[in-house]
């Protein structure tokens, strides 16, 4: 995934950062959505069900060929404008401030099933 400029929504500076250990053989690019996997290591956002949403990567870190935790990535908490899904999963004005679900490291979607399909995030237009 390429680096991207993911704008922060709301007022004021980001107040909370985490320096999280990366999963083995993982590269996370600045501006992408970061989650923790079941083992507690930072990975790209995806639709897996065992993930916990963290926030936006503030730097690009390459841990390709490295062991779990060999490198760390700085991740900011906050409200960010992610890309919107399409079709039935597309978030609309009616979904404002509801939970949304991670599709990948740049995209979120409206939940279309009663059971969450991925780590929840918060949608803000």
Give the per-residue SS3 of 59-72: CCEECCCCCCCCCE
Q: Which DSSP string do the residues of 104-124 spell out, in sequence order?
A: SSSEEE---SSS--S-EEE--
Q: Is residue 65 part of a domain?
A: yes
- Side by side, the strands of the sheet bearing 107-109 are 83-84, 107-109, 99-102, 120-122
Q: Are 55 and 92 contained in the same domain?
A: no
**Full domain range(s) for residue 50:** 17-76
**Residue 11 forms part of a structural domain:** no
Looking at the fold, whether 66 and 98 belong to one and the same domain comes out as no
How far apart are the C-alpha atoms of 95 and 87, rounded to whole Å?
A: 14
| 22 and 55 together in one domain | yes
Q: Are residues 39 and 72 in the same domain?
A: yes
The answer to whether residues 21 and 56 belong to one domain is yes
pLDDT of 13 over the 80 cut: no
Summary mean pLDDT of the chain: 84
Residues 39 and 57 in one domain: yes
In a domain, 6, yes or no: no
What letter does residue 78 receive in the DSSP assignment? S
1 part of a folded domain = no
Domain count of the chain? 2
pLDDT for 18 beyond 80: yes
Please indicate, yes or no, whether the overall pTM of this predicted structure exceeds 0.85: no
Same domain as 21, residue 72: yes
Asked if residue 3 is part of any domain, the answer here is: no
Residue 92 shares a structural domain with residue 108? yes
Q: Which residues pair with 57 in a beta bridge?
A: 75
Per residue in 63-116, pLDDT (tens digit) is: 999 999 999 999 998 878 889 998 888 988 888 878 888 999 999 998 765 434
């Amino acid at each position: 995934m390429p680096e991207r400029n993911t704008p922060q929504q709301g007022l004021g500076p980001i107040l909370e950062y985490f320096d999280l250990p990366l999963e083995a053989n993982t590269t996370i690019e600045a501006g992408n959505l970061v989650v923790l996997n079941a083992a507690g290591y930072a990975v790209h956002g995806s639709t897996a069900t065992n993930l916990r949403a963290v926030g936006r990567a503030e730097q690009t870190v390459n841990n390709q060929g490295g062991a779990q935790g060999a490198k760390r990535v700085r991740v900011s908490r906050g409200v960010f404008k992610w890309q919107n899904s399409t079709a039935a999963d597309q978030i609309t004005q009616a979904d404002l401030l509801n939970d949304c679900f991670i599709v990948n490291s740049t995209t979120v979607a409206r939940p279309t099933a009663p059971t969450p399909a991925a780590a929840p995030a918060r949608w803000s237009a």
